[in-house]
Structure 1
Amino acid sequence: MTTHPDAADGALGAPVELPWRVLPDYRCFGCSPANDQGLRLRFAHTADGGIMCAFTFDRTFESYPGVVHGGMSTTVCDEIMGNLLVLRLGVSVFTTSLRTRYVEPLTVGATYRCTATTEAAAGDTGPHQAQAEITDAEGNAVVFATGAYQPVTEEQARKRMAMSEHEARLVETALAELRTP
């Protein structure tokens, strides 16, 4: 798996700082730069208020010869939609439903871009909806996804996540910064 620095270094939009960065042992499979086994997705803001990332899957994520396993594209979509909602709402969210439509298979070694959008706004009650689209190098849509995400309170997040009290306070402080105009 290769993420593309230009997707998060400002060339395609302002880089995204995720609130999870404050955790000393942040290991998210989708977006942690410290997880050698993970996708290491790096996000950038888009002009329309969404976020995007660019990536290339290697043969580690292969299904049929030369084809990326479909679950990997769904993982990218879920990761980007969930993080967009966290950034937009300033609270942790959990996926409650996810629907993926594959138009074309992703090819090992090809570069793709995933973009997420939502109409959700801070203060709205959940569940919240988000959409993601993966496009190929020519801009053709190859995967569409929609998801529903339920916001959780700080207490609910602490119960569902393996965080110490100190780590929970660090994350809550980072989330509160997102809620501050």
Structure 2
Amino acid sequence: METVAEIDLKPLDVGGATPDVVDLFAQEAASLTRLARFYLDDRTAAEDLVQEAFIRLSRSAGRIRQRGNAAAYLRSIVINLARDHNRRGLVSLRHRPSALPDAPSAEEDAHTRAERQEVIDALRALPRRQRDCVTLRYYLDLSIPDIAETLGLSANTVKTHLQRGMASLATTLEGTR
């Protein structure tokens, strides 16, 4: 797969405006990679998905009418690519960062990782729309309208999925403690 440096990052003609893909990449790549990591255990695969999302954005730039819609379109692409990756059963290796020199004790680190993994497992067990809404809202800190735009849902539907998802997470996590 191409690296970021090999991708032709030229300005796009998007509805009369010409947003620079390089600027968009600088603004959104890190949060998109974090989003992809909720769906994939492999950081490299998540980074590859984000690169693929930017490639697809540049190929279909004519569909985007407003500059503000590019980020939502990218989030949608990343979510769909991550689902496809998992659906096809591609190999996803578990990479865990090693303890940092100034990290807490091994026991504290293990406990923190276990708690984090419980939350991620509970999140992954949610129905698809609930998981998407909760992830976009509480991990990427998107507003209800931004989530609705990203997922192509109404704001009320997003609120419903958020409420149900959070209730389900609370029940699941209460049961594991």
Same fold (TM over 0.5): no
* Greater strand fraction, Structure 1 or Structure 2: 1
* Greater helix fraction, Structure 1 or Structure 2: 2
TM-score using structure 2 length = 0.32
TM-score using structure 1 length = 0.31
Is the radius of gyration larger for structure 1 or structure 2? 2
